Amino acid sequence: MKLVEIKKPTFDVDISLTYATAENFTEKMVYKNAICYLHQDASLALLKAIEYAANIGYRLLIYDAFRPSEAQWVLWNHTPDPNFLANPKKGSPHSRGVAIDLTLIDLNGTPLEMGTGFDDFTTKSHHGNTEISKIAQQNRLTLLGIMTLAGWDFYRNEWWHYQLFNAREFALISDTDIPRSIMN
């Protein structure tokens, strides 16, 4: 396991780990420590995405990245919806360190309009949804283009979720296996 901590100055991104706050769909803190990790392979793809976004005047805001298996169980036990959450028995790409939830922000740090917020578990969150504004559709396509060009695959139900194409080839990682605990 080769996890890399995502932080400045190496990674020029904003980070606001939603599950390290109570401002998430569970309404409870899931992570005790707001530490952002990705597998080394995913971190390299993130660096490309950062560069591509910067080339067109945007930055990235990360909502979630590596999610310990223990955290996946907390989310699943709260809302066992396979349309928006991976069943922890099968394992989430997040729990392998090769998935990221993010959005585009402008150079002032303001998130672009995406039609829904992060973790909006409705069909309006689906890629290609035309019930959202044209601006939000364009912004989603811009994010999709940046992430795809950088080597990420998308999940059709969540405009914010990207993972490496070979995500299932990576091992699941527990909170006890990482350099600094997220859960405790």
Kindly state the tokens that stand for 180.
Answer: 């600094």
| Element holding 53 (H helix, E strand) | helix 40-55
Give yes or no: 169 in active site. Answer: no
Kindly state the tokens that stand for 143.
Answer: 């994010």
Cα distance between residue 110 and residue 112, in whole Å: 6
Q: Which of 27, 51, 70, 158 is catalytic?
A: 158
Strands 152-155 and 3-5, by their bridges, are: unpaired
Sequence-distant (6+) residues with CB within 8 A of 25 are: 75, 78, 79, 119, 121
Cα distance between residue 18 and residue 31, in whole Å: 9
CA 167 centroid distance within chain: 13
Positions of E strands within 37-112: 37-39, 59-64, 99-105
The catalytic residues are 158
